Structure formats: structure tokens, C-alpha cells
A and B are shown apart, each in its own frame.
Chain A
Amino acid sequence: MQIGKKKLDIFLLIAPAVIIYLVFCIIPLVSSISYSFYDWNGVNEKIFIGLGNYKELLGDGEFYNSLKNNSIIILFAVMIQIPLAYFLAEMLSRKLKGTSIFEGIYFLPAVISTVIIALMWYFILNPNEGFINVFLTRVGLENFKKGWIGDNKMAIYCVAFVNVWQFVGVSMVILLAGIRAVPQDIHDSCLVDGVSGIRKSLTVTIPLIKEALITTTVLSVTGSLKMFDLVFSLTNGGPGSSSQVLATYMYKQAFFGYRYGYGVTIAVAIFIFSAIFSLIFMRITQNKD
């Protein structure tokens, strides 16, 4: 009696979450993967083509172009966002006045919808009436005017920059929490031994906050791999397809090119890439323990 009742209780506790999760996440995941084996425009009869979509993907220049652009965004996140976030966190961890105000300001862009952020930067980076070019004209530096998001060489770097701008605050807060958790006597013994500045960062602080560093790296890398909103609203992948990323390419193929099966295949590729990244990083953190 008691055991039967316990089983019923457990069932009632887990059923709502598990059912919703299965119906709206796992089952769509499985059926999506199955779509990727079909040539399908979303309307007519599906045609089974086995690995055809995957073969096409591996020979698709625009797929590699998108992958390259995602890599640029990831590179910016890892090489600029995280060092900058560390630098800011290190400064805010000193006992100065007003640190919580700075923290609040730096974090702000992360709570605002990326679509709004993108349009906001459109006012700054568009080549015609954008803030930067208008400013350069006014101060007589017309030679430095650039095409920014209208230039097919620069557009992707603009996207990568705005992404760093939006999320550097999040990385900073994670790293700051790590730095603040370093015990005071470690700081004290550094002071006694005369270890400070860059040497202290490299030999003492960074090894101690390794976990926080790995966490923010994983978050920025997987976030950059899945990026859609910013590119869609800031450059829409253009000019041409110079700032196309995997997710916008997927969207274009599926909903404008009516190549449903192929779009799903790109989505599966994004899933595989981010799963590989997460697993590698999980391995690294586990080895440490």
C-alpha cells in the first residue's frame, strides 16, 4: 500500500515536466533529425535521400563561409571578451568606491533583447547616417569613414564586436564572483612576497579562478555558435552573404529557399558543434576534480 502510493506520488511529481519536455523538446529533436534525411520543401511529398543533405552540406561553400563567420565571432569572444572581462573584474575586485555602479552598467546590455541591441547599433554602424560616420565627418576625419555594416569585409567584425559589447558584462560578473571567492590570506601572502600586477594575475589569480574561466568560455562559445538574433537584425547576413552565420543560413534555406530538409540538416550541424564543445569542456572540468 505504502509503496504503491509512493510510486503514484513520484509519477505525479515528475509527469508534468517530463511530458512537456518530451512533447516539445525531445520528440521534435528526434523528428527533426529524421527530416534531415529527406529532400523536402515543407509542402510536397518528402523524398528519402539518406545522407544526401549531409553530403551536400560538406560541399557547400556558403556553409563553410557561415562556419568561418561563426569562428570569427567565437574568436572575438574568446580573445577579446574574456580577457577584457577579466581585466574589468580584476579592477572591480579592488576595494574601490562605486564598483557596484560600474558592475550594474556593464551588465545592463545583457538584459536587453538582442533585437533592440542590434537596431541600436544600426544607428551607430550604418554607413549613411550612422553615429560614427557622421561624427567623423563633423570632426574632419572623413578619411577614416568606413562602410561598417555596409562593407562586406567589415560587417562580420561589426557583428562580433557588438556581441562582445553585449555580453562582456556577463563574463565579468562570473569572473568577479570567482575572484571574490579567492581567500583573503592568499592576497595577504602575495603582498608579503611582493607579487602583484600581471605576475599575480598569471601565477595566482587565473589558476584559482580556472573554473569560472571555463564556465564563461563555454557560455560564450556555445552562444556564438547559436547566434541568430544579432545577425538577423543588424546585417541580415549581408552585404551579400558576407556576415552569414550558421543559424541565419539555416533560416534562409528553410524559410526563403523552401529547402526544409536542408535547413534541418544545418540545425543538426549546429547541435553537433555545440554538443562537442560542451562535452570537451565538461571533460576538462571533470579531469580537474
Chain B
Amino acid sequence: MYNTQKNIKKTLTYMFLIAFALLTIIPLAWMVLLSFKTSSEIFNAPFALPKAIQWQNYLKAWKVVGLGTLMKNSLFVTSVSTAITLFASTLCSYAIARIDFKWNFKLYFFLLFGLMIPVYIVMFPMFRLNQILNLSGSYISLIGPYVAFQIPTCTLIMVGFLRGIPKELEEAASIDGASLWRILFEVIFPVLKPAFATATILILLNNWNEFVLALVLITKNKMKTLPVGIAAISGQYNSNYEIMAAALIISVIPIIVVYLILKKNIIEGMTAGAVKG
């Protein structure tokens, strides 16, 4: 009796979990289906499988939308700004967490204050500055705010992690007469690896998917990042669903591949800031 009840409960649980998984996957699957069909198949037989898989949709999408350039631009902006954020923020977090000076806490709260600032606010002055300094042809206008806006998150993760490291680690090294910088590079950085992994994933994803600043600050077509380029196709290829769908599939593939490999780290990384905050 007890067992049947338990089994029913288990079956119901699975049914619900599977139903919700389907709700998550169907939009993606629908897009895959569209991307393999011809225009007329989409119109006449929307739910049928394609007679032949239309691989050329992908070739067309790649060329017409210029996905290669968009991805290259995104990769450049994302990796440069993530590297700078990690470097600057780790040094600063070390000072906050491990060295006593008068305004440790004030500095920490000053940086964390940034978590509350919406990007919209910096958008206007940055847009102005671009016009004045004629920066619209350079990625500095995008990388600068990307770094500045990820510093608070990165600092939060790094300070949290650094506080958990035993003091003896550096004390031993400093008794041996090692300089601060040697301690930093030879003792602290190796220990920080897991925190680096968490922070890198979080910042990379945030920057890779960032839209508003890229939309406003990058005006040259050949410099656009992936989300901005993708957003523009809905107006241009409105009637070519198969091309749009193929372009969307190509642009999610890198993220999905990375997600499949690093699933555990990504889920941890994306919720780390939240849980610790």
C-alpha cells in the first residue's frame, strides 16, 4: 500500500519534471526544425519534417548575417574586458581582504555600490564622450564600461574567497623575505584558481550576452557584437524564417557547447555572486 502510493508520487513527479523540460526545449526544437526547411515547407507543412535537410540555410545565414565577423568581434571584446576585469579586480580584492589600511571597508562598499547601478545611467555620458572624442571607431568605448561594470561582481567573489584563505600561507612566505608581489604571484594566485574559474565564467557570459551598451555605443556595422547583429536580423529577414532560425541556431551553438562541457561550473558561477551576496 505504502509502496504504491510512493510509486504514484514518483511517477507524478517525473511527469511534471518531464513536462517542464519539454516546455524548456520545445522553443529550441521548433527553431531547429524551421532552420532545416524551405520557405514553402514552413508555410505549407509547418509541422512536417523537411523532405530534405536544407543545410544551405546555414551557409546563407552565416554569409548574409555576417556571423563570422559578429562572433569575432564579440570574442575580442568579451575576452579583453574579462581579462582586464580579473586582473584589476583580483589585485584590489587582495588589498581589501588581506592588507589592513584605513579604508578597507569603505573601499569595499564603494565598489559593491556598483552592483546597484543600472548600465543605462552610464550609457548617456559614454555616448556623449564617444561623439566628443570620436571613439566610435574603437572598442575602448565598450571595453571600459564592461570592465567597470563587472569589477563589483568580481570583487565580491574574490574578496569572499580570499577571506577564506588561512593567513599562515603568506606569513610563512613573508618571513622568508619574499616581496608582496612575489607572494601574490607565487603563493596567492595558484590558490585562487577555483575563484578565477567562477569569476571568469560569470563575467564572460555577462559580457558575451550584453546588449544595451553595445547597441548604443557601437555604431559601425563591421564592429557590432553578436547580440546587436542578431537583433538587427529580425527586421531584415522577417519573411525568411529559415534564414533567421539558422542564424539563431549558429549563434547559440557556441554557448550550448560550452554549457555542455562546463555545466556544473557555469551553474555555480552564475549563482555564486547571488548566493554569497
Contacts and interface: CB of A to CB of B under 8 A. Distances in A.
Interface of A: 6, 9-10, 12-14, 16-18, 20-21, 23-29, 31-33, 35, 42, 88, 91-92, 94, 96, 102-116, 119-124, 129, 131, 134-135, 138, 165, 169-170, 173-174, 177, 212, 215-216, 219, 226, 228-229, 232-233, 247, 250-251, 254-255, 260, 263-264, 267-268, 270-271, 274-275, 278
A25 B122 contact: yes
Interface in B6-25: 10, 13-14, 16-17, 20-21, 23-25
Contacts of A274: 116, 118
Contact of A29 (B117, B152, B241, B266): B117
Contact of B211 (A20, A115, A119, A122): A115
B120 interface: yes
B59 interface: no
Contacts of A233: 231, 234
Contacts of A174: 271, 274-275
A140 B114 CA distance: 53
Contacts of A31: 125
Given A17-B91, A102-B21, A107-B263, 16 more contacts: A10-B95, A10-B101, A13-B91, A16-B87, A18-B92, A21-B152, A24-B144, A28-B121, A116-B248, A123-B34, A174-B274, A229-B227, A247-B212, A271-B117, A274-B118, A278-B116
B135 interface: no
Given A16-B87, A129-B241, A138-B46, A25 B275 contact: no
7 contacts: A14-B96, A17-B151, A113-B211, A120-B28, A124-B30, A174-B274, A267-B118
Contacts of B175: none
The binding surface of chain B is classed by DSSP as helix
Tier of interface size on chain B: 35 or more
Interface string B103-120: 000010001001111101
